[in-house]
Amino acid sequence: MNINSIKNKIFELKNIRLKIKINLGRNKYEHLEGYIEKIHPNIFTIKTNKGIKSFSYSDVATKVVIISKF
């Protein structure tokens, strides 16, 4: 996947309830639920039950962040 296709997928998922899995390294993961709030040219923000988190599109490309629908 290239960055442009990831941006298009993120845009399609806006305002849909999502499950977010964040790889923290060393086999540690954080699981969140939320909605994509804002989309910017280099990052996007997700409003979760633990606050607002921001991620880059390269985080999705390298599978540091895995986003899926409920």
**How confident is the model over 43-69, as pLDDT tens digits?**
999 999 889 999 999 999 999 999 999
With b for 16 or more beta-carbon neighbours within 10 A and e for fewer, the 27-61 pattern comes to: eeeeebebebeeeeeeebbbebeeeebebbbebbe
Q: What pLDDT was estimated at residue 49?
A: 85
Residue spans of the domains in the chain: they are 3-69
The CATH code for residues 3-69 is: 2.30.30.100
pLDDT of 1: 77
Structure confidence by residue, pLDDT tens digits, 1-19: 799 999 999 999 999 999 9
